[in-house]
A and B are shown apart, each in its own frame.
Chain A
Amino acid sequence: MKAFLLSFFLIVSALSFVNTVTAKDIIGGLTLKENFELAEQYPMPSPWLLSAQCSACHGTMGTEFDDIIPPLAGMDKQEFIDKMQEYKTKDANQFIVMGIITQPITDKEIEAMADFFAKLKPVSRSLGKVPYDVVVPDWANMNSGAK
């Protein structure tokens, strides 16, 4: 089973490099430019809130590794930034969300998330059940509201 999952994970990684944006995708609402103007105009959402938006797919505060969606907790800061920037600027992995969802996120926000996840207790990136601590006291302190 594990071997199967692992090979599956490799397929995902490989596929992400042979991807192109096609004309028939429908993009709407704000333009990217308007999106970044709004981001400039208002204070940045808190690092906790930004990072918590990842929970629904990556597990509570990025602590789950169930099958093909990897954990984020404890990820090296620079590695997180590089990966996110690669998604954002090269449209890598676009067909499974990350290349899309990174587009409207600002560099500053990416860095705040990188900081946040780097401070969490690392989660094994090997496959299998990943445990996590329930109440991490630091989360409350990291939850600094916008100035």
Chain B
Amino acid sequence: MNKKDLNKKKGMSRRQMLKMLGATAATYGLLGASSKVFSKSAPHIVIVGGGIGGAAAAKYLRLLNADVKITLIEPNSQYIFCPGSNEVIPGWITLEDLMVTYTALKTRYHVNVIHDKASIIDYDKKQLRLEKGTVLNYHKLIVSPGPMHGYHAIEGFSKALADGDFPSAYNAGKQTMTLRNQILSMKQGGTVIIAPPENDYRCPPAPYERASFIAAMLKEKNPTAKILILDAKDSFVLSDNYNFYWKKTFGYGTDNSMIEWVPKKKGGKVVKLDATHHAVITADGQSHKGDVINIIPPEAAGLFALKNDLADTQWCPVDFLDFSSMRHDDVYVIGDSVDGAPMPKTGYIASNQARIVVQAINDELHGKELSTPFIINDCVAMAGHDYGMALSTTFRYAGKGKRLKDLYYIPEAETNPAKQIVRQQVAENWQRTFRKDIFE
């Protein structure tokens, strides 16, 4: 009897069985499902994207409603938080510290997590097709695919180059580590170029927080090195705080400054990458050589949203009462993909948009009138181990068809060292609590 027959006799091999189980389960949309059984008539809420917006939606919907079927589509088996990922560059924390899995969502919140990519929405049939072929029927669809990074907006740049020698590191992961390693091994007195995009992009202060952390790293290991920020904007948020800290710590504004910031109007906007010569070209035609080049390209709504006609031009328009799409029924869009101005694109906001959506869906299921939306954003950022800050904004409902109205508060630079440290500790505390709030 050969091996094959042996298996036959004993039944299926473990591998065959798993394969079959997987296939059947996927067909019925049960892959990764927990043991809880939902009624056949239970409404099915499908969520695309297991990042901050999507995971928050899954968890908070379950908190409100024990009976709906919730399916979350996410290609990766783990999520790495972007908040905190700048701290990985100087090695203050590791990527592992920012990693979470979908276990709690599956087992604790009875969310059916399918590790696949969502592909096409059939709006008439209310069906979502996944890349591997599964088709899911949905009552409501929540879309939170994050942004698309427009590498090609910079001539000569591409995703392949970003995955290779020119990391953008604007999605926490392998590129973050490449950037760290490149800076660590950079020659003495070398130049790091950081090129932040024009507005809007995720986490507006992050490129400047990154510059601060890299400067702290270089001050120790490579004190004659320079950081050149070539900006596609003429101003940036929390600049008073960063300027204050940079002056105090890195001689900013003097000839010896480790950091130089070039605004758009002074030729800061990078339009081209010359990969062969390790240089970037700005709009005024000037070439800048960099030993490490970190271009953060402009963004648009996630590819899934663009492909499925949820965006009008760059972002997805929504009704701010409940974040339902303005373009298609029974679909909601949240997170970085939304045309949400004056809301900035932050994880904090993505999670609070998620709470509005799931409450609206739950209220609708219960035949209740929808609640008025309200959003808080406390965007915490750091300049160093010893300096934190928070930009606080509330967003109020201003009537049908109107955008939410903001009331914002940007603190001036904090000169009291005790307060600087408390703010930094609050920022760290927030990151830890936030990861748990979304994924545990």
Q: Chain A: residues with CB nearer than 8 A to chain B?
A: 8, 11-12, 15, 22-32, 34-35, 38-39, 41-46, 48-50, 52-61, 64, 66-69, 95-97, 100-101, 103-105, 134-137, 139-140, 143-147
Residue of A nearest to B426 (CB): A96
The reply to whether A49 and B433 contact each other, CB–CB distance below 8 Å, is no
Shortest CB distance A64–B (Å): 5
Which residues of chain A are within 8 angstroms of B351 by Cβ–Cβ distance?
A: 55-56
Top 10 A-B residue pairs of the complex, sorted by shortest distance between their CB atoms? A24-B412, A46-B371, A45-B374, A29-B406, A26-B410, A145-B368, A53-B376, A67-B429, A30-B407, A100-B392
11 contacts between A and B (CB under 8 A): A26-B410, A38-B396, A46-B359, A46-B371, A52-B359, A56-B433, A60-B436, A95-B411, A97-B378, A140-B362, A143-B362
Given A56-B378, A143-B362, verify A66-B433 contact (CB < 8 Å): yes
Which residues of chain B are within 8 angstroms of A140 by Cβ–Cβ distance?
A: 64-66, 362
Residues from 358 to 386 in B contacting A, C-beta threshold 8 Å: 359, 362-363, 368-376, 378
Which residues of chain B are within 8 angstroms of A55 by Cβ–Cβ distance?
A: 351, 355, 437
Given A27-B409, A59-B436, A68-B429, verify A95-B372 contact (CB < 8 Å): no
Given A69-B429, A139-B64, verify A144-B372 contact (CB < 8 Å): no
Kindly state the separation between the CA atoms of A35 and B404 in the bound complex, as whole angstroms: 11
Kindly state the separation between the CA atoms of A8 and B437 in the bound complex, as whole angstroms: 23
Kindly state the separation between the CA atoms of A29 and B375 in the bound complex, as whole angstroms: 14
The reply to whether A42 and B363 contact each other, CB–CB distance below 8 Å, is no
Shortest CB distance B81–A (Å): 13
Residues from 118 to 166 in B contacting A, C-beta threshold 8 Å: none
Which residues of chain B are within 8 angstroms of A31 by Cβ–Cβ distance?
A: 407
Interface centre among B109, B240, B356, B419 (most CB of A within 10 A): B419
How many residue pairs at the A-B interface have CB separations less than 8 Å? 186
Residues from 383 to 440 in B contacting A, C-beta threshold 8 Å: 390, 392-394, 396-399, 405-414, 418-419, 422-423, 425-426, 428-430, 432-434, 436-437
The reply to whether A25 and B409 contact each other, CB–CB distance below 8 Å, is yes
Q: Chain B: residues with CB nearer than 8 A to chain A?
A: 59-60, 62-66, 108-109, 240, 342, 348, 351-352, 355-356, 359, 362-363, 368-376, 378, 390, 392-394, 396-399, 405-414, 418-419, 422-423, 425-426, 428-430, 432-434, 436-437
Kindly state the separation between the CA atoms of A34 and B407 in the bound complex, as whole angstroms: 10
Q: Which of A12, A23, A24, A39 contacts B422 (CB 8 A)?
A: A12
The reply to whether B352 and A56 contact each other, CB–CB distance below 8 Å, is yes
The reply to whether B355 and A15 contact each other, CB–CB distance below 8 Å, is no
Q: Which of A29, A49, A57, A60 contacts B373 (CB 8 A)?
A: A49
Given A59-B437, A64-B436, A95-B423, verify A53-B412 contact (CB < 8 Å): no
Which residues of chain A are within 8 angstroms of B108 by Cβ–Cβ distance?
A: 134
Given A53-B376, A134-B109, verify A24-B429 contact (CB < 8 Å): no
Shortest CB distance A92–B (Å): 13
Kindly state the separation between the CA atoms of A35 and B240 in the bound complex, as whole angstroms: 26
Given contacts A15-B418, A49-B355, 9 further A-B pairs with CB under 8 A are: A30-B406, A43-B371, A44-B372, A45-B374, A57-B430, A66-B436, A140-B362, A143-B362, A147-B369
Which residues of chain A are within 8 angstroms of B419 by Cβ–Cβ distance?
A: 15, 95
Shortest CB distance B380–A (Å): 8
